[in-house]
Structure 1
Amino acid sequence: MRRKLLFGERMLHGDGNTLFNAVIPFRLRGVFFEADLHHALEKLQEKHPWLNAFVKDDEKQRPWFIVDEAQSVKIPVRIVKRTGDDDWQTESQKEWHTPFDTAKGPLIRLVWIKDDVVSDMIFVIHHCLCDGGSAMSILTELLQLLDDPNADIGKEDPIKGVEDIIPPAILNNRKKQIKAKLIGGLATLVLRLIPVKKNGVDRKNDYLIHWKFDRELSKDLVVYCKSAGITVNTMLCGVVLSAFKQVRKEQAHNKVSCPVDIRRFAPEIKKDQIFAFGLMLVVSAYPGLDFLDNIKARQKHVDKKSAKLDPYATMMMMESAHACMDNFTNLLKNGKSSNDCMFSNLGKIDIPHQYQLFELETIFSPSVIGPLGNTTTLVTSTYRGHMDFSFIASEGFIPYEEALAIKDKIISIIKEQIGHAVIAVV
């Protein structure tokens, strides 16, 4: 089985040696055996063919996902002795910088940080293989199989190309094809003409800052957003923009990029299908408005932009622009950064926490770091009522002390706004 990497997947894959690892940590409390874990991973590979894939270039240097059905590959497991609650952070950062051999596969591995009772596990997946939604499905199924080796997790009908995603009436529409080729061709021409420095920013040391809200604060934030008529995602975007502005002042860009789950707009992509392409919204603050008015105005902007998102047209255009791949990635790597950070909210994670053999104590928000320009990323998720944050960045873009100040400012802004809401109610 084989298929060409789509434009977005090629961008994330790079030259085959490019580090772009997504790291998904979680904590289990209970006892199970290594053989059970290997069995569960094998069952995952049986369901999801692309978890067996490697990447190979054809004669035109176009990369393909390939599954050799005659020769299986096992998902590697690295076992580490657990010495404390923060070991997962150390191992996460180590996994950022450990490349996959994409020419051999698989593009997924697991780290097991264990003591007698607690296991901190880390799924590490090359970002060209899947997004956060796919990763959560894989985690859900792993836990089912770890608890019950005979669990029926079904069989994935894998995506084999754009024809499995874009409806035929759109994919074969002559006007849409011409429009996609024209936009793709124009993008290729423009990217060839844009002058780009040979070398990008020296990003220096990468780091991870993690924190978690208790249930009360997490709940109060949700209640505040509902009462104000805004989403938690838009609220947090506003908080992030404000925190960057207050800490970084003139160095702040007033721009946050927000990935959007393509499954919301393309129902052809099922929840448990392995897929990596996403959509994107860019959010900025409006001058002259106070915090809440700004958030409400931004909510209208986000709703309007979201309604116009068209995954099919976007994919068709990008698939017509493969010729500009080198120029595009060179611009991302070496061009001047114009945004403060990438902000990704996975929302509420609906995975059971109580199993027969163990308890899923917590899921830490994933982290990812890649080579395409500014590495600054904030990922948040909510599990068992706790909102969790992973702030990833590099000293070359944001000094560590400034990142700590941004974290503190995010927390203080949220508490201040919730306090204002309580006072207003009282």
Structure 2
Amino acid sequence: MRRKLFFIERVMHGEGNFVFNSVLPVRVRGSFSETDLQLALKGLQKTHALLNAVIQNDKNEEPWFIVDDEHPVNIPIRITERINDDDWQTESVKEWSIPFNSYKEPLMRLIWIKGKGVSEFLLVAHHCLFDGRSILNILEEFLQFLDDPDTLIAAEVSISGISDVVPPARLNNRIHQIMAKLLLGIISMTLSLIPNKDKPAEKTKAYLLHWQFDQELSLSLMARCKAEGVTVNTIICSILFDAFKQVLPKNGLKKITFQIDIRNFNPQIKKNNIFSFALMIQVLAYTGLNFFDSARAIQKDIKNKMAKLDPYKVFILSEFAHRYFHKIVRFLRNLEPDKECMLSNLGKLDIRQHYKEFELETIFSPSVMVAEGRTTALITSTYCGQMGFSFISNSGVTYEDACAIRDKIMQIAAEHIVTESIV
């Protein structure tokens, strides 16, 4: 297999030195051996060609995913002793800054926090290869192979190029190609006029703050959303804007950037495709409205913006940007986010809990950190009826403020979701 990195993948990979790691932790009850883990990972590598790939640059210094069948590579396993229930958080933060040697090893590794009868597994993946949906699918298959290494899972038909993602009628549209070149030429000129900073934007120490709603609050929130005709996403937005405003009234949250799963727009990308291409939209806070009216206003804004999204156009435009790669990367590395929070809601995780040889106790909401840039993000997911939250930052929001924001999120949810429901 040989595939050139798409432009977005290339930006996240950098020049082989960008640390853009996502971490998906799970807690399992059972006994395992290192051989069990190796067999499960081998099963994944047989099912997904890209898990066998390393990066090679061509004569133009453009990177390609390469699978060399004569010199196979193994997914690395790191084993550490389990001391307490919070070790997975310490290891997650550690893994944010450990680079992949993408020219010699796969872009995924496994961390085993090994305990007696209970362990945590951390799937660590470079974001240039995996988005949230991809890594969740890999987790589901990993658990199946761990339970039975001979289990039969259909092999992924890998995406081999842009023609597998964009329909030919759109890909070969001359007007779109001309407009893309003109727009990127303007962007290139603009970037050339921006002074080059001596060093990337300053960051604070990165941290992870994780918490969960109990089942009662989680189920009440989902039921209330249904009754009010709003989505969980928009309720989370309202809560997040409110919490920031109360904790940081002078330096609150101006906008939330949503991660949108491109699979919702593009049926050519299958569930089991390893893929990383996020669509994004931004929403602003609505002041002067009550809690649920604010949520409805945000939802209307999201609906309008999603109706205008054209993933094919975005993809074609980005693929014409390879010649401007270094200018764009320089700009992004020096970008200073202005009171912004990234939000990614992975929704209900439909992964079974009980296996023949072990039990999946919980899936913690994943985390991802851009080591070369500045990030504040909230990632949420729901497993076994409980909503979990991972708040991460290395930019502006102190750990103490994050704890206060967490407490406000819990308080606001309880006040508006549970109390008002009772009334």
Q: TM-score, normalised by structure 2?
A: 0.97
Equivalence for 2:340: 340
**Native 8 Å contact 1:187 1:324 kept in 2:** no
Could you report, residue by residue, the CA deviation over 1:337-360 in whole angstroms, capped at 9, with x for unpaired residues?
224211111000000001111111
* Deviation beyond 4 Å, 4+ runs, structure 1: none
Deviation at 1:211, TM superposition (A): 0.4
Q: 1:210 and 2:185 equivalent?
A: no
Q: Distance in 1 between matches of 2:233 and 2:372?
A: 24
Equivalence for 2:410: 411
Question: One-letter code of the match for 2:63?
Answer: P
The correspondence of residues 23-38 of structure 1 with structure 2, limited to 5 A, is 23-38=23-38
Deviation at 1:372, TM superposition (A): 5.2
Could you report, residue by residue, the CA deviation over 1:150-199 in whole angstroms, capped at 9, with x for unpaired residues?
11111111111111100111111222222222222222222222345333
Question: One-letter code of the match for 1:116?
Answer: K
Deviation at 1:253, TM superposition (A): 4.1
Deviation at 1:36, TM superposition (A): 1.7
Equivalence for 2:367: 367
Unaligned runs of 5+ in 1: none
Q: Please state whether the residue corresponding to 1:216 is helix, strand or coil.
A: helix
**Native 8 Å contact 2:220 2:418 kept in 1:** no
Sequence identity percentage? 51
What is the number of equivalent residue pairs in this alignment?
Answer: 423
Q: Distance in 2 between matches of 1:140 and 1:213?
A: 23
Equivalence for 1:226: 226
Deviation at 1:326, TM superposition (A): 2.2
Pairwise CA RMSD: 1.4
Could you report, residue by residue, the CA deviation over 1:288-313 in whole angstroms, capped at 9, with x for unpaired residues?
22222111111111111111211100
Q: Please state whether the residue corresponding to 1:56 is helix, strand or coil.
A: strand
User: Higher mean Cα deviation, 406-415 or 128-137?
Assistant: 406-415
**Native 8 Å contact 2:54 2:106 kept in 1:** yes
Equivalence for 2:319: 319
User: Higher mean Cα deviation, 130-139 or 197-206?
Assistant: 197-206
Equivalence for 2:297: 297
Equivalence for 2:190: 190
User: Higher mean Cα deviation, 67-76 or 411-420?
Assistant: 411-420
Could you report, residue by residue, the CA deviation over 1:72-106 in whole angstroms, capped at 9, with x for unpaired residues?
10111111111111111111111111111011121
Unaligned runs of 5+ in 2: none
**Native 8 Å contact 1:332 1:372 kept in 2:** no
Q: 1:422 and 2:421 equivalent?
A: yes
Equivalence for 2:88: 88
Equivalence for 1:236: 236
Q: Please state whether the residue corresponding to 2:129 is helix, strand or coil.
A: coil
**Native 8 Å contact 1:198 1:334 kept in 2:** no
**Native 8 Å contact 2:96 2:371 kept in 1:** no
Could you report, residue by residue, the CA deviation over 1:116-169 in whole angstroms, capped at 9, with x for unpaired residues?
211100000111111010001101111111111111111111111111100111
**Native 8 Å contact 1:224 1:421 kept in 2:** no
Q: Please state whether the residue corresponding to 1:251 is helix, strand or coil.
A: coil
Q: Please state whether the residue corresponding to 1:217 is helix, strand or coil.
A: helix
The correspondence of residues 2-401 of structure 1 with structure 2, limited to 5 A, is 2-195=2-195, 197-371=197-371, 373-394=373-394, 396-401=395-400
Q: Distance in 2 between matches of 1:250 and 1:60?
A: 49
**Native 8 Å contact 2:20 2:368 kept in 1:** yes
User: Higher mean Cα deviation, 283-292 or 114-123?
Assistant: 283-292
Q: Please state whether the residue corresponding to 2:157 is helix, strand or coil.
A: coil
**Native 8 Å contact 1:185 1:320 kept in 2:** no
Residues 196 and 227 of structure 1, relative CA distance in 2, 3 Å threshold: farther
Q: Distance in 1 between matches of 2:353 and 2:66?
A: 35
Q: Distance in 2 between matches of 1:143 and 1:41?
A: 10
Q: Distance in 2 between matches of 1:29 and 1:17?
A: 36
**Native 8 Å contact 2:200 2:372 kept in 1:** no
Q: Distance in 2 between matches of 1:144 and 1:159?
A: 23
